[in-house]
Amino acid sequence: ILNVEQSPQSLHVQEGDSTNFTCSFPSSNFYALHWYRWETAKSPEALFVMTLNGDEKKKGRISATLNTKEGYSYLYIKGSQPEDSATYLCAFGNDMRFGAGTRLTVKP
């Protein structure tokens, strides 16, 4: 993988569902992996910075894991709420290259 890839591109879930999505990145020369949340008409907001293999971070209902050896990170949202609707971006490397994002829509 030469670039940062995110999947799925979009996701529609019902309120209360738990969901997860993936960020894949080059596994060599790992520096740091970032997750950002981006709501429409706002600027991206930092969620997590992950630096160590096996890292697991949590903020409320949102958590993230990191596997630097295989080059992926998962973002989990437990009990999705409509206010979780946003695009979730991951960024990789010292120059902060972003993936295309996963657009999450949570229906009430």
Instruction: Provide the binding-site residues for another protein, judged by CB under 8 A.
Output: 32, 34, 36, 38, 42-46, 49, 51, 89, 91, 94-101
CB of 14 to another protein, least distance (A): 26
Lookup: tokens for 89: 């971006």
CB of 85 to another protein, least distance (A): 17
Q: What are the CA-CA distances from residue 93 to residues 33, 42, 98 (Å)?
A: 7, 24, 9
17 vs 22, beta carbon nearer another protein: 22
**Cβ contact 23:33 at 8 Å:** yes
- The DSSP bridge partners found for residue 7 are 22
28 vs 43, beta carbon nearer another protein: 43
CB of 95 to another protein, least distance (A): 4
Q: Is the peptide bond before 44 cis (omega within 30 degrees of 0)?
A: no
